[in-house]
């Protein structure tokens, strides 16, 4: 299992970014996937997760209505569209995978992941 995240940048409050995560070593279509983030001095938290088994998507309350997770199984790539960014969104963003038996909410809320983490991509929201 291998992930390469990209798309992070310095952006002003209210701006948008689209993160990408290229996954390899497994068949993306079969697994629950998610985006996590870790801000300085804070624990890693689940931002958005997507279940392959039932199509259910979970969003943390802090990003609901602003972020959208999607996947292109043919390209084995996961995306996170982030709109109306806020300074509190500043963090390193990571993607992760877990077994399909795990729901999107479980993955994000309980931090249930499989395999190793990628290097992440840095998002800084600042004026």
Percent of the chain with pLDDT over 90: 83
Exposure of 54 in the CB half-sphere (CA atoms within 13 A): 9
Q: What is d(CA 123, CA 121) in angstroms, rounded to the nearest whole number?
A: 7
pLDDT more than 70, % of the chain: 100
Residue 117: per-residue pLDDT? 86
pLDDT surpasses 90 at 5: yes
Average pLDDT value for the chain: 94
Mean pLDDT in residue range 87-109: 94
Q: What is the mean pLDDT of residues 20-38?
A: 94
């Amino acid at each position: 299992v291998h992930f390469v995240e990209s798309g992070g940048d310095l952006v002003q409050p209210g701006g948008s970014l689209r993160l990408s995560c290229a996954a390899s070593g497994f068949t993306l279509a079969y697994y629950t996937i998610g985006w996590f983030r870790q801000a300085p001095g804070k624990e890693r938290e689940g931002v958005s997760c997507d279940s392959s088994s039932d199509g259910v998507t979970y969003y943390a309350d802090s990003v609901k209505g602003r972020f959208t997770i999607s996947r292109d199984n043919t390209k084995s790539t996961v995306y996170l569209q982030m709109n109306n960014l806020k300074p509190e969104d500043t963090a390193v963003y990571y993607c992760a995978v877990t077994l399909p038996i795990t729901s999107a909410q479980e993955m994000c809320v309980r931090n249930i992941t499989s395999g190793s983490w990628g290097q992440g991509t840095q998002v800084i929201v600042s004026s």
